[in-house]
Amino acid sequence: MSGKQQSVELEKVVIRFAGDSGDGMQLTGSQFTFTSALLGNDLATFPDFPAEIRAPQGTVEGVSGFQVQIGKIDIFTPGDEADVLVSMNPAALKSNLQWVRKGGNIIIDSDSFEERTFKRAGYESNPLENGSLQAYHIIEAPITSLTKTALQGIALDNKSIVRCKNMFALGIAYWLFDRSMDQTLEFLQKKFKNAPLLVDANSKALRAGYYYAETVEALPSNYKVPAAKINPGKYRHISGNQATAWGFMAAAEKMDKKMFFGSYPITPASDILHELSKYKNLGVTTFQAEDEIAAVCSAIGASYAGALGVTASAGPGIALKGEAIGLAAMVELPLVVIDVQRGGPSTGLPTKTEQADFNLVMFGRNSDCPVIVIAPNTPSNCFSFAVQAAKLTVEHMTPVIFLSDGYLANGSEPWKIPSFAELPEINIPHAELNGQDFQPYHRDENKLSRYWAIPGTEGMEHRIGGLEKENITGNVSYDPGNHELMVKTRQEKVNRVAEFIPEQKVIGSGSGKVLVVGWGSTYGSLLTAVKQLQHAGKEVDLVHFNYLNPLPKNTEAIFNQYEKLLVCELNMGQFAAYLRSLFPHVKIEQYNKIQGLPFTVMELKEKIIELL
């Protein structure tokens, strides 16, 4: 029987792949995503990594997952619940069942459900036999044994053959959602170009899974998700970390400066270092430092020498960089610090997302040490905000913290590639003598930024370091009045940035009962929830902040138009407390989640309706 006798068209669908960390679920999910992107679907992804590097096989702690939502409509999140779960073992089923909608399809590798494996996953009895899965449509497929059968005669060891079962599972998913295998077959040719046996094995497994799905009667009819209607242009699929790396390269090119990236490897920021290290030919210098302090200090040194100095870390590393960030603020040099947040404190949840570091980047340095703080809100706009971070740090001659997180860093979506001419101009405040004596702390009247003097320029010799500077001359000064003047000047310099960033936009009517407030990576979930409630006639609007310090200058005027504010964050309420300190007259409610997971649209809608 051919399952292709029927086909159902869907607006959107959520697929989740899950298995042991060695089962290749990230690769499987990525390939399904790439293929869907080529077909023109809008999409958003959520890779879910285990924290343990080598967790015991078959345990819940070692499960790796990858969720993607594809659609012919605008997609802003990876979806709340999966319509289809591909589960490679009992542990994957146990840890992911809560994310599958009732009535959804679960494709299971039935070969993996033995007494020792389901007990290792924490089941008392076989879930395929005890009736606990009655609310779902279960498709039991002997994926492992069918993979072995398909690869008989290939001169590979049994372990290598079994590792191809992820391609068999991907083949099933390709048939189920009417995807072509061609892109993945081409990918396998490139990935294993020096290992023809692996190309052959994985390709055969992929085809075997596809044709198994086409013929087996247990599977539902296949589904079609047509291409989305998108603005014309050249698109590619991009992750947040990749977009961040490319954004800073583009900014360096725009300002005709070399880029220096000093970093110490840390999850989930390391991929930025990996990506930038590929582009020495574009004038990018990468330095894997011996520790976090060396990394940030090397970036400051590069900025002093006239390059665009950038460093990156996660929360634990940002804490270590604090004194050096203060140095950059004191000497007033360009410096971008990328914080790809994760759950904490200490090592915390290294592979899980959280908006944990707002207080750290705002206040986590000794003395009064203001810096500019901005936050992208989607994987693709990490590119444009990386360009903006470089523009702000150079034009205002003060550090900028770029506040990403694991959800953005590892998530991906289609990105419309901009032309170089579309990138904003970056005006570098280079120091000039103009026949006068050089004064290193002479300032721009509007921005209060000092001018960038490159070492070795005759006539621009000046003192630099962490001791307090005398206004204008830059000499070391212990004068009490001068210290107060310089502290206030550095603060005012950051405050004036509000005159050079866009005003905050409101998604909605601009006044009413409830204004939902968010920042950073919560954008997709908040936008989807608010739009659905607006469509249902509810009086609710959204403002989502990218510029956190300073806030856009029309922020207070917006807040005054609403009866209540609901600030939603993946922390204990750090941004909400900050807003209360600035606008004590505004009634601020908060909704917080601290589980290492993003918001779901459903839980946000329930909270907003409760407040309404």
Query: Is residue 135 assigned to a domain?
Result: yes
| pLDDT tier, 494 (very low <50, low <70, confident <90, very high otherwise) | very high
Kindly report, residue by residue over 354-390, the tens digit of the pLDDT: 999 999 999 999 999 999 999 999 999 999 999 999 9
Residue 427 falls within a domain, yes or no? no
Cβ atoms within 10 Å, residue 101? 16
Number of domains in the chain: 3
| CB-based contact 300:334 (threshold 8 Å) | no
What's the confidence (pLDDT) of residue 231?
86
What's the pLDDT score for residue 434? 81
DSSP category for residue 391: H
pLDDT at 538 over 50: yes
Cα 372 from Cα 570, distance rounded (Å): 21
Confidence of residue 218 (pLDDT cuts 50, 70, 90): low
Q: What is the mean pLDDT of residues 574-589?
A: 97
The verdict on 292 and 199 lying in the same domain is no
Contact, 87 vs 173, CB < 8 A?
Answer: no
Say whether pLDDT at 3 is over 50: no
Q: How far apart are CA 530 and CA 553, in angstroms?
A: 24
Is the pLDDT assigned to residue 411 strictly greater than 80? Answer: yes
Residues 336, 247, single domain; the answer is yes
ω before 268 within 30° of 0 (cis)? yes
Q: Tell me, what CATH number does 390's domain have?
A: 3.40.50.970
Asked if residue 85 and residue 35 are part of one domain, the reply reads yes
What pLDDT, on the 0 to 100 scale, is given for residue 2?
42
* Segments forming the whole domain that contains residue 531: 512-611
CB 604 within 8 A of CB 526: yes
pLDDT digits (tens, 9 = 90+) for 63-75: 999 999 999 999 9
Give the residue-averaged pLDDT of 388-414: 97
Q: 460 lies in a domain?
A: no
Question: Is residue 220 very low, low, confident or very high in pLDDT (cuts 50, 70, 90)?
Answer: low
Q: Same domain, yes or no, for 528 and 409?
A: no
Q: In this model, does residue 5 exceed pLDDT 60?
A: no
Co-location of 163 and 246 in the same domain = no
| Lookup result for tokens 């968010």 | 518
β-bridge mates for residue 364, sequence order:
none
Residue 223: is its pLDDT beyond 90? Answer: no
| Angle in degrees, CA 374, 595, 106, rounded to 5 | 115
Comparing CA positions, the residue from 479, 488, 483, 437 lying closest to residue 458 is 437
Label residue 54 by pLDDT band (50, 70, 90). Answer: confident
CATH number for the domain that contains residue 219: 3.40.920.10
Find the distance separating the first CA and the last CA of the chain, reported in whole Å: 53
Check whether residue 184 and residue 259 sit in a common domain: no
Cα 269 from Cα 276, distance rounded (Å): 12
The pLDDT assigned to 590 comes to 97
For the stretch 295-311, pLDDT in tens is: 999 999 999 999 999 99
pLDDT value at 6 more than 80: no
Is 327 in the same domain as 192? no
Tens digits of per-residue pLDDT, 130-160? 999 999 999 999 999 999 999 999 999 999 9
With beta carbons less than 8 A apart as the criterion, state whether 166 and 66 touch.
no
Q: Do 159 and 284 share a domain, yes or no?
A: no
- Both 177 and 286 in one domain: the answer is no
Residue 40 forms part of a structural domain: yes
Strands (E), 73-118: 82-87, 100-109
What's the mean pLDDT when you consider all of the chain?
95
Residues 317 and 388 placed together within one structural domain of the fold: yes
183 with 282, same domain?
no
